[in-house]
Amino acid sequence: MTDTDIPLEAIAAKVGTPFFLYNAAILRERMADLAQLTRAEGVQARYAMKANSNAAILKEALAAGLWIDAVSGNEVLRAKRAGFAMGAEPPVVMLTCDVFRDNGLAVVVQEGVMPNVGSPGQIRELAEAGYRGPIAMRVNPGFGHGHVQACDTGGPSSKHGIWHEDLDGPIAMARDAGLRIEGLHAHVGTGPQIREFDENMRKLADVFGALLPRFPHAVAVNFGGGIPHPYRPNAERFELEPYRAFLSHAQGMLSKLAKRSVRVEIEPGRYPVAGMASLVARVKEVKATRSNDKGPGHAFIMVDAGFNDLIRPAMYGSYHHISVVGAGAGREPEPFAVAGPLCESGDVFTRDDQEVIQPRMLPRPEPGDLLVLHDAGAYGAVMSSNYVSLGRAPQVLWDDGRATLVSRRETVEDVVRAECDEAL
């Protein structure tokens, strides 16, 4: 995003640091990409709202004509508040979860949104709860790959869905319970290699083709999300046009096989939102350790954002591009580790997936400069926490020259709001 056009200091003066900054122009562009990608008859994109569930984002998804993949009862209710239609005709909101908890089951029954079941137990629970609407079935096709090892979305070590060779029992259970299986679903994720995604999608089309004859009521197949986002500055941008052609081809091929019109769905989360946002932090200090027999020394840029705000580097070793705004910005780059305020050695934004510090070439900032962590729109604010009671950072939407606070900074009152002293 073009941070240079946005008055970061003026926004910081109003909301403090750190804060998430969302660029509405980029958001709309990416949402429109998805609408374009699925413009063919019988192809539909859902936005996997767990990537960023702020109402301002959901409204853009709604305006772009996207549907929703929700993964909890509360996400369904937030989609409803943002204006998405409930019910299953058509199934604008689908609930995909490995386990029903809290209000998940009740929301399906009350709102009539289509559940996407990933285990026989969920079919039993739905039947017992009195649900009689359509369902989708999530299949583990036996292969897949997340963007890192820790994200295993398909294959023998994935917990998601029903193993593709074990579908007979669940199909019979659904039939006996009077639940029509109207959708088939698999989400195999983004591999580290951009080509792996294409390959997985082609393999998935074959799997769906082979499975469809056993699902006489299926009117939709869902290829999941996982469209890659280029996090590194020199990374290849994923080409949507061949994917669009693939989806349209798959729609025709699967419809022909099934001898009825089969809707092809996708549900990207990261793609439309990752690039529209930055996490803007304040540089507090620049300090160094020295090499000794235990290892090399590092120069540390200490900022006021931590893994409580953006956990992806600490959890997955994910790369976020970093830039310095302020007095130090033009200096010759030197290797720096960027670290946050938490009493945790893992509170470092420049780590690899082996948890090893990977110094980044950055200009030496002055304390007081801003440090921008880019591409923080997906799995950023939504994965932030109240760890160490800091309160979650505010979210600011920059739209057409105007900044709007779309989630305020949490206070100590927010942090303790659920605490109580109640006899049970």
Ligand X SMILES: *Cc1c(COP(=O)(O)O)cnc(C)c1O
Point out which span in 171-179, 241-249, 268-276, 326-334 binds ligand X (CB under 6 A): 268-276
Q: Which of 78, 80, 187, 360 binds ligand X (CB under 6 A)?
A: 187
Q: Measuring CA to CA, which residue among 318, 289, 282 is closest to residue 303?
A: 282
Q: How many helices (H) and strands (E) does the chain have?
A: 12, 18
Q: Which of 75, 125, 196, 267 binds ligand X (CB under 6 A)?
A: 267
β-partners of residue 263 are 220
Sites for ligand X among residues 112-171 (CB under 6 A)? none
Q: Which of 268, 306, 313, 328 binds ligand X (CB under 6 A)?
A: 268
**Residue 266 Cβ, how far from ligand X at the closest point, in Å?**
9
Phi, psi of 361 (to 5 degrees): -75, 110
Radius of gyration of the chain from its Cα atoms, rounded to whole angstroms: 23
State whether residue 404 is helix, strand or coil.
strand
Query: 264 to each of 31, 278, 297, how far by Cα in Å?
Result: 18, 33, 53
Residue 308 token pair: 């409580």
245, containing H or E segment: helix 240-258
**Residue 142 Cβ, how far from ligand X at the closest point, in Å?**
17
Give the span between the Cα atoms of 371 and 75, in whole angstroms. Answer: 32
Q: Measuring CA to CA, which residue among 140, 187, 198, 190 is closest to residue 318?
A: 190
**Residue 60 Cβ, how far from ligand X at the closest point, in Å?**
16
**Interaction of residue 312 with ligand X, rule CB under 6 A:** no
Residue placing its CB nearer to ligand X in the complex, 30 or 298: 30
Q: Which of 91, 224, 306, 328 binds ligand X (CB under 6 A)?
A: 224
Q: Which of 183, 226, 340, 377 binds ligand X (CB under 6 A)?
A: 226
**Residue 400 Cβ, how far from ligand X at the closest point, in Å?**
27
23, containing H or E segment: strand 19-23
Residue placing its CB nearer to ligand X in the complex, 80 or 187: 187
x/- letters, 363..402, toward ligand X (CB under 6 A):
---------------x------------------------
Verify cis geometry, omega within 30 degrees of 0, for the bond prior to 91. no
Point out which span in 44-52, 165-173, 324-332, 390-398 binds ligand X (CB under 6 A): 44-52
State whether residue 181 is helix, strand or coil.
strand
Q: Which of 17, 38, 96, 251 binds ligand X (CB under 6 A)?
A: 96
Q: Is 226 in contact with 313 (CB distance < 8 Å)? A: no
Q: What helix, strand, coil percent values describe the chain, rounded to 5?
A: 30, 25, 45
**Residue 189 Cβ, how far from ligand X at the closest point, in Å?**
6
Q: Which residues are catalytic?
A: 343
**Interaction of residue 50 with ligand X, rule CB under 6 A:** yes
**Residue 331 Cβ, how far from ligand X at the closest point, in Å?**
36
Q: Which of 1, 6, 48, 221 binds ligand X (CB under 6 A)?
A: 48
**Residue 302 Cβ, how far from ligand X at the closest point, in Å?**
31
> Which residues lie below 8 Å from residue 81, measured CB to CB, with a gap of 6+?
55
Q: Which of 69, 125, 182, 375 binds ligand X (CB under 6 A)?
A: 69
Phi, psi of 243 (to 5 degrees): -70, -40
Point out which span in 48-56, 82-90, 120-128, 357-365 binds ligand X (CB under 6 A): 48-56
**Interaction of residue 107 with ligand X, rule CB under 6 A:** no
Residue placing its CB nearer to ligand X in the complex, 69 or 375: 69
Question: How far, rounded to the nearest angstrom, does the alpha carbon of residue 120 sit from its chain's CA centroid?
Answer: 26
Q: Which of 30, 145, 263, 270 binds ligand X (CB under 6 A)?
A: 270
Burial class of residue 159, CB neighbours in 10 A (0-12, 13-18, 19+): exposed
405, containing H or E segment: strand 402-407
> Which residues lie below 8 Å from residue 41, measured CB to CB, with a gap of 6+?
251
**Residue 380 Cβ, how far from ligand X at the closest point, in Å?**
12
Q: Which of 190, 251, 318, 407 binds ligand X (CB under 6 A)?
A: 190
Binding site residues, ligand X, CB under 6 A: 48, 50-51, 69, 71, 96, 187, 190, 224-227, 267-271, 378
